[in-house]
Structure 1
Amino acid sequence: MTVRERVTIPWGSSETLTLDLPEKWKVIGVLEPRPLAPVDPDAAVRQALESPIGMPPLRELGKGLRRVAVLVDDLSRPTPAGLLLPNVVAELDAAGVLREGLTLVTALGTHRPMTRDDLAKKIGAEWVERLAWENHDYAAPARNTFLGTTSRGTPVYVNATVAAADLVVSLGVIEPHVIAGFGGGYKNLIPGAAGAQTIGATHTLNLTPATFNMTGRPAGENPMRLDLEEGSALLAKPFFIVNAILDMSLGVVRVVAGHPVAAHREGVKTAAEMYGAKIPRAADVVIAGSYPMDIDFRQGLKALANNIRAVRPGGLLIALIRATEGTGHMPSERRRPALSRGMLKLLAPLLLRVLPRKRSAAQGEEFKFFTYFGLQALRRNQLLVYAPTVSREFAAGMPFAEFAWTPDEMWAMARGRFAGEAEVLVVPAGGVTYPLP
């Protein structure tokens, strides 16, 4: 009797998905984050704020200032803002900043506005009542201020409330990111609180074969990261970050605070140590779960983007996307492509040359990046997505991958590609784990 290997993948925050692999599929490795010693979250935040990197403490920076903007990301990111914010406010209180001079700005990029309930989940209901807050609107010219142009030609527009502040504090999380290398740092400003033209230009900088997948790569090799840092520096006022690094269970392992470049780079060292995993060799098949970036399909795609380098050219990458809240804010939802997967693969070399030169609005530029990445992935690999919460209509607008809505359907498709022997790598927390070169 043939013994089939079994794998277990986190499925949301409290469930698991157990899968029996096809016969003759052999697991050659499981890529998991390196466990780091747990820390006391409150103590870690306080220590980071007392000894910031590259800047004075907030209680000194804030002295004599009237207007402070605090940037916070939305629910699609696991930033523990409810932990960070009270400590930041305490520091600003100690500096003498009045509460009426403090405004919370949601760094949404092109995501949907946050509701009061959303923000309460993010920062705690009591803070929604205590602080003034606003949703950033990338598409409203009157609510964005022009700061100048970067050396790469990016026009820099940022949220007007942020631009008018005397001090900006950004609460975020440092995690692997397909375009920016890692999240955190200045990223809550650009693209998080930037205008449409800025978001559009920023998302086109990495549309090259060498830079379309920058997950875990050094900042010095990343045009987008360098450009957003240059553009953000045009703000020309103190910008103080408080960034958490989380383990795969979303527990805090470190907090860094201070200068948005120096402190960010220090935090990246910890994130890379934890989430970069060595692989024995590129596999025939990679099975990657989307945890913990699995609130929606948009975030869940990180399981695919992070791990494409773990599968050999021509191999199969299976992404298991929980998508608790469905598709998320994805421009492709409203677009049904006229070309089949086979035709796209045939035309990919031409489209990849033309696409970077095509101009479009901010959401269109994000869609353009998704399209470019999808074409590059389609040329290199076979892509299969198990995402039971997304509609078939939505899947029809994503022709770069085949979709399955049940495990049986997924395995039927997978066996059609590898009916015989296959070496398999499993990535349970594919939303944050990535293979090292």
Structure 2
Amino acid sequence: MSILLPYGKRFIEIKQQKNITVFEPNFAKPLKNPSEKIKQSLKKPYGCPCLAEIVKRRKPRSVCIVISDHTRAVSSKIILNEIIKELINSGINKKGIFILIGNGTHRPTTEMEKLELVGKEILKDFFVFDHKATDSSMLIHLENTDFYVNKRYIEADLKIVTGMIEPHFFAGFSGGRKGVCPGIAGMESIKIFHGFKFLESPYTKPGNLQNNPCHIFATEFAKKAGVDFLVNVTINKNKEITGVFSGEIEKAFFKGVDFCKKTSTCYTEKKYPVVITTNGGYPLDIDFYQSVKGMVTALEIVENNGIIICVSECREGIGSKDFKKILLEMNTPEQFIKKIKQPGCFLDVQWGVQPLVHVLRKAKIFLVSGLSKKDAQLCRCIKFSSINQALLEAYRQHGKNVEVAVIPEGPYTLFE
């Protein structure tokens, strides 16, 4: 029997052995007709009137639809098709509809990525543009708050947010309020959401919303900015839609979270000396910056001083220039934590390095990736060209009979 590990747009195979335990949640069956299910969800949402009724009452002249960017495996094309049809059938002029890509702090999407996200027809017929968190001309400050948000979004008469609900390494779950913060938030707000204090909280972890400061802040932000209608989906390991959750932002989101927990959770009380994880394949394993998410999942079940083997393609390298700059200037992980802990200190994308430090405090990282050996060393990882090479070294260090855990879906898996 073989175990398949997603790696970019393909799979890496390892053979099942008696000392290997695989942790995979129950496979969620795909919806037979996701477009029809999305259409139904617009007519029978959770906690609010149907979308057509909202349009009838509000009579909006402009509609902003927020979608996830190129780093998320959301079926935005399918979701948009149904939303746009419903809006036009409800009397909205198509010229009043625009699509805002929630990049957060990620780089802008390329034209090819926009095409992949929304499809040829939507890209041709509608204005599709990127949010930019550092461009003050695109932002508006919400009075008496720490919230800076995309100006075009605030100015729209009707605000619709889409996205995907999945485990998230510090917000508990993605989706819902995250489509607004950090999706279309300004950098000053993201500095709080991604700040040292929030990320050091014991409640900031995958699968947890209770007392989670990131979740609380993002929820307050989204409610203040306003979300008139939410459309979120869940997916399985094949990137197929398994559920649709539309309606009022909190009620629809929590329904989706309940479903996601059931389809993402594995159970173990045991810790393992060696844990193999992935970052879920393309597009989430697009670079090392994103790949930390799969490592954080492995933290839940790896022993102290253990080894985490992360299988992640990293086709775009380490990540942004700012992320790489922090790694270049970081003498030791603890020195980095000491630096960002100081009042008034904030480094761009420090939130990508802080969880990495949490991993390095507990385990060595073996990286099976397209990164060069030099770049892997910069990321404080040991580079391997194949999963078999990495396993051989793990056996050399811990003995050939060492118990190994495998998490094929990395960041899409929760542990209890």
> What TM-score do you get using the length of structure 1 for normalisation?
0.87
Query: Identity, % of aligned pairs?
Result: 24
List gaps (5 residues or longer) in structure 2.
Answer: none
Change (3 A) 1:316 1:71: same
State the one-letter code of the partner of 1:312. Answer: E
**Equivalent in the alignment of 2:185:** 194
> How far did 1:326 drift?
3.6
Structural mapping, 1:15-34, within 5 Å: 15-19=10-14, 26-27=19-20, 29-34=21-26
Q: For the residues of structure 1 that align with 2:101 and 2:410, how far apart are their CA atoms?
A: 27
Q: For the residues of structure 1 that align with 2:61 and 2:360, how far apart are their CA atoms?
A: 52
Please say if residues 8 and 285 of structure 2, whose CA atoms lie closer than 8 Å, have aligned partners that are also in contact: yes
Change (3 A) 1:131 1:351: closer
**Equivalent in the alignment of 1:273:** 262
State the one-letter code of the partner of 1:294. Answer: D
Does the alignment pair 1:111 with 2:91?
no
Change (3 A) 1:18 1:134: closer
CA-to-partner distance for each residue in 1:299-350, whole Å, 9 max, x for gaps? 333211122101122222111112344444463223444566xx54xxx3x7
Does the alignment pair 1:410 with 2:390?
yes
Equivalenced residue count is 410
> How far did 1:376 drift?
2.2
State the one-letter code of the partner of 1:199. Answer: I
Q: 2:286 aligned to 289, 295, 299, which one? A: 295
Per mean C-alpha deviation after superposition, the further-off stretch among 378-387 and 287-296 is 287-296
Structural mapping, 1:124-135, within 5 Å: 124-135=119-130
**Equivalent in the alignment of 1:262:** 251
Per mean C-alpha deviation after superposition, the further-off stretch among 170-179 and 376-385 is 376-385
Please say if residues 32 and 277 of structure 1, whose CA atoms lie closer than 8 Å, have aligned partners that are also in contact: yes
Structural mapping, 1:54-65, within 5 Å: 54-63=47-56, 64-65=59-60
CA-to-partner distance for each residue in 1:17-74, whole Å, 9 max, x for gaps? 12358x9x811x2111212333221121112111111121111112311111111111
For residue 383 of structure 2, give the secondary structure of its aligned residue in structure 1.
strand
Q: For the residues of structure 1 that align with 2:230 and 2:148, how far apart are their CA atoms?
A: 20
> How far did 1:121 drift?
0.5
Q: For the residues of structure 1 that align with 2:321 and 2:279, how far apart are their CA atoms?
A: 17
Does the alignment pair 1:170 with 2:161?
yes
Please say if residues 187 and 228 of structure 1, whose CA atoms lie closer than 8 Å, have aligned partners that are also in contact: yes
Change (3 A) 1:419 1:149: farther
**Equivalent in the alignment of 1:138:** 133
CA-to-partner distance for each residue in 1:172-191, whole Å, 9 max, x for gaps? 01111111111100211111
**Equivalent in the alignment of 1:224:** 214
Q: For the residues of structure 1 that align with 2:329 and 2:64, how far apart are their CA atoms?
A: 45
Q: For the residues of structure 1 that align with 2:176 and 2:401, how far apart are their CA atoms?
A: 44
CA-to-partner distance for each residue in 1:377-414, whole Å, 9 max, x for gaps? 22222222211x22344323322x33323446524542
For residue 249 of structure 1, give the secondary structure of its aligned residue in structure 2.
coil
Does the alignment pair 1:206 with 2:198?
yes
Does the alignment pair 1:215 with 2:206?
yes
List gaps (5 residues or longer) in structure 1.
Answer: none
Does the alignment pair 1:322 with 2:313?
yes
State the one-letter code of the partner of 2:253. Answer: H
Please say if residues 68 and 165 of structure 1, whose CA atoms lie closer than 8 Å, have aligned partners that are also in contact: yes
Structural mapping, 1:357-368, within 5 Å: 357-360=342-345, 364-367=347-350
Please say if residues 168 and 411 of structure 2, whose CA atoms lie closer than 8 Å, have aligned partners that are also in contact: no
For residue 8 of structure 1, give the secondary structure of its aligned residue in structure 2.
strand
Does the alignment pair 1:370 with 2:352?
yes
State the one-letter code of the partner of 2:193. Answer: T
**Equivalent in the alignment of 2:372:** 391
Does the alignment pair 1:242 with 2:237?
no
> What TM-score do you get using the length of structure 2 for normalisation?
0.91
